[in-house]
Structure 1
């Protein structure tokens, strides 16, 4: 069993979608959770535009409720995937020494742009990037 934690700024757009995509591709061998650095949307559903974008890929984000990152969540994970470089840098500061080795960018060498405040087309583009990125972490499993 592999435990993956996806992290974005508010756990409102990118990380919930990434968690759903990774969980679906990973099947029973993978457990995935998501969290945000800030608690602004704590206990709130995912962004409506991201819910629509996720549905286009067959992912249901309707039950998602935003969660702020905790040290327990970092300890739980085998891999912590930051959606952009700024998130990764912040995680490096708040992580214990043992958890720093678990950190990586979701797309390996580039950011998943934050679609917040933009139109549905930008959310769709973001979803395409995130869906494609699952192969970096789980291979070609479908």
Structure 2
């Protein structure tokens, strides 16, 4: 089973939903976790607007609790998927040589825009992008 870690800034919106969508689509194929670069929302549930956006697509992320990225998480993962280029840049700075090949963008060559501070439509659009992006990661052989 391939181990995938999704990472965004705070583990409050994008990465928790990405982890759930990947786990659901890749059931039996993927073990998925999520984390944030900062611990601002450590232990908190997902953003309410993202909960609503996820619910519209048939997902329930109410059980999520934010956690900050650790070295152990990077070591655990076979793939580390950043939600945007700025998160990927930080991951490249903190990851050791062994983790560097595991790093990539969730959508391959584009960002999942951060909806924080925006309206519900931005969260809905973000959730749709994330769900569609699962197709890039399910059905792939282990690295």
TM-score, normalisation: structure 1: 0.97
The 5 A counterparts of 1:17-36 are: 17-36=17-36
- State the superposition RMSD in angstroms: 1.0
Aligned counterparts of 1:3 and 1:101: Cα–Cα separation in 2? 14
Aligned counterparts of 1:110 and 1:139: Cα–Cα separation in 2? 20
CA deviation profile, 1:62-118 (whole Å, cap 9, x unmatched):
110000000000000000000000000000010011001000000000000000011
Aligned counterparts of 2:77 and 2:57: Cα–Cα separation in 1? 25
The structure with the greater share of residues assigned to helix is 1
In the alignment, does 2:52 pair up with 1:52?
yes
Structure 1 unmatched runs, 5+? none
Aligned counterparts of 2:30 and 2:136: Cα–Cα separation in 1? 14
Report what 1:136 is aligned to: 136
Report what 1:42 is aligned to: 42
Match of 1:132, SS? helix
Deviation at 1:139, TM superposition (A): 4.3
Match of 2:98, SS? helix
Match of 2:52, SS? helix
Report what 1:98 is aligned to: 98
In the alignment, does 2:123 pair up with 1:123?
yes
The 5 A counterparts of 1:2-17 are: 2-17=2-17
Match of 1:24, SS? helix
Deviant stretches of 4+, over 6 Å: none
Aligned counterparts of 1:125 and 1:39: Cα–Cα separation in 2? 25
Greater CA deviation, 42-51 or 57-66?
Answer: 57-66
The number of aligned residues is: 140
The 5 A counterparts of 1:63-102 are: 63-102=63-102
Match of 2:107, SS? coil
